[in-house]
A = this chain, B = another copy of it.
Amino acid sequence: MARVVVNVMPKPEILDPQGKAVTGALKRMGHEGFSVRQGKRFEIEVEGDLTPARLEEVRQYAEAVLANTVIENFEVVSQ
């Protein structure tokens, strides 16, 4: 059983209202000097061996399904 992580983050040039809300909340709580961006983390258990073909399959559906590549960047990390 192999594990792959897909991280999906809003592109730097895209407004991130969730991150802005967290940054503002931290400031109001007295935590100064932090800038937060919020994205998604997918932990994927892969049955069987993680062959290069299987990893490429993950990359393809990460691009097609897990991320909205108009506004988000993604990375695939095998562990």
Contacts and interface: CB of A to CB of B under 8 A. Distances in A.
Interface of A: 7-9, 19, 22, 25-26, 29, 31, 33-48, 57-58, 61, 65-66
What is the count of identical protomers in the complex?
A: 2
Contact of A36 (B36, B37, B44, B47): B44
Contacts of A19: 42
Q: Give 7 closest A-B pairs by Cβ, nearest first.
A: A33-B47, A41-B41, A35-B45, A39-B41, A37-B43, A36-B44, A34-B44
A53 to B, nearest CB: 12
Contacts of A41: 7-9, 38-41
Contacts of A9: 41, 43
